[in-house]
Amino acid sequence: MNNRPPEFIEPGERIDNLERGGLRIIQNPSFFCFSLDAVLLAHFAPVQNYDRVMDLCTGSGIIPLLLSTRAKGLKQVGLELCAETAERAGRSMRLNRLEESIEVVNGDVRQVRQLFPTQRFNLVTVNPPYLPLGQGETSGKDARSMARHEVTLTLAEVVRAAAYLLPTGGRLAMVHRACRLADILITLRENRLEPKLLRFVHTKVQAPSSLVLLEAVRDAKPLLKVGVPIYIHKADGTYTCELQELYAGGELR
C-alpha cells in the first residue's frame, strides 16, 4: 500500500489512493476525511497554468493535490486552522513529493491580512463550513464540527478573506449548501466578487439540489451563467457517467 518510508504514517492513520496521477493522501478516520464535495470543487475550479492558488480551509489538502494534476507550474498554499490537520496535510505533500509547489500553512482564515500580502493569488478555492450555529448537531470545537459548522469561521469571513487575497480579475471557486445560495450571492457582491458560473448538484435525478458549485470574479461585470445540473447517482445507486468520467480524469468545466 505504501512504498515510502514508514515515518510518513502516524498511529491511526491510513494512506488512500486518489486514483489520479499516482497521488495518495494521508487521512485519519478519527478526523474529518475529505468528501465528494471537495472532489467536485477541485474539478470545477477554473485553474490555469502557473496560477498562484490559495485553498482556504484546506483540511487534508485534497483540493491542492487534485489541482496539481489539472495545470502545470502551479504554486499553491493550503491554509488550515487545526495544527494537527495541517501537519498531516504537509506530510501528504511530502509523500507525493509536492512540497516545493504546495505549502501547507497552519493559520486562521480570519487573519489572512497578517499572514499574506493582498492580491497575491490568481485563484482562491474554498470548501467552507456550511451550517450556521444552531443548525444541525455540533460537538464543540473538534475537527468534525469546525468542518461542518460556522464554529470558528462564518461565510462572510471566508468571502472577505478571498476578496483580500484576489486582484481584479482573480477567481474564487466555492462549494456550498444549496440552501445558503441567497446568503452566498449577497455576500459575494458585498465584497466585489461577482458571481459568474453556478452549477447545482443533485444526489440523483428528481432529487432537490443539495450543493452548489460557484465561480466568482473580482470586480467583474454582472452576468451569471447557470450551467447544467450535476447528478451524482443513477436510480440504481451507481455513479452517473459524468461522475465516472470525473474519477477517470474528467473535468466539470
Q: Would the pLDDT of 46 be above 90? A: yes
pLDDT digits (tens, 9 = 90+) for 22-32: 999 999 998 87
Q: Domain ranges in the chain?
A: 6-247
Lowest mean pLDDT segment, chosen from 20-29, 72-81, 213-222: 20-29
Higher pLDDT, 150 or 193: 193
Mean pLDDT of the chain: 90
Give residue 150's pLDDT band: very low, low, confident or very high (50, 70, 90). Answer: low
At 135, the pLDDT band (50, 70, 90 cuts) reads: low
Average pLDDT over residues 175-182: 96
Is pLDDT of 73 > 90?
yes
Is residue 145 predicted with pLDDT exceeding 70?
A: no
Average pLDDT over residues 48-52: 98
For range 29-40, the mean pLDDT: 90
- Is residue 62 within 8 A of residue 25, CB to CB? The reply is yes
Which whole number is the average pLDDT over 77-90? 96
Q: In Å, how far are 141, 159, 202, 244, 246 from 230, measured between CA atoms?
A: 33, 24, 6, 12, 11
Alpha-carbon distance 169 to 37, whole Å? 25
More confident residue, 69 or 3: 69
Flag whether pLDDT at 143 surpasses 70.
no
Whole-angstrom distance, CA of residue 35 vs CA of residue 107? 22
**Please, which pLDDT band fits residue 2 given cuts at 50, 70 and 90?**
very low
Rounded to an integer, what is the distance from CA 181 to the centroid of its chain? Answer: 17
CA nearest neighbour of 56 among 145, 107, 125: 125
pLDDT score for 32 = 78
Q: Could you give the residue ranges of the DSSP H alpha helices within the chain?
A: 36-44, 62-67, 83-95, 112-115, 143-148, 155-165, 181-190, 241-247
Q: Which three cell numbers stand for residue 208?
A: 432537490
Q: CA triplet 74, 78, 83: central angle to 5 degrees?
A: 155
Class of 6-247 per CATH? alpha beta
What is the model's pLDDT at position 237?
93
Q: What is the pLDDT of residue 152?
A: 75
Q: Which contiguous run of DSSP H or E holds residue 241?
A: helix 241-247
Burial class of residue 74 in the structure, from the number of CB atoms within 10 Å of its CB (0-12 exposed, 13-18 middle, 19+ buried): buried
pLDDT at 9 over 60: yes
What pLDDT does 51 receive?
Answer: 98
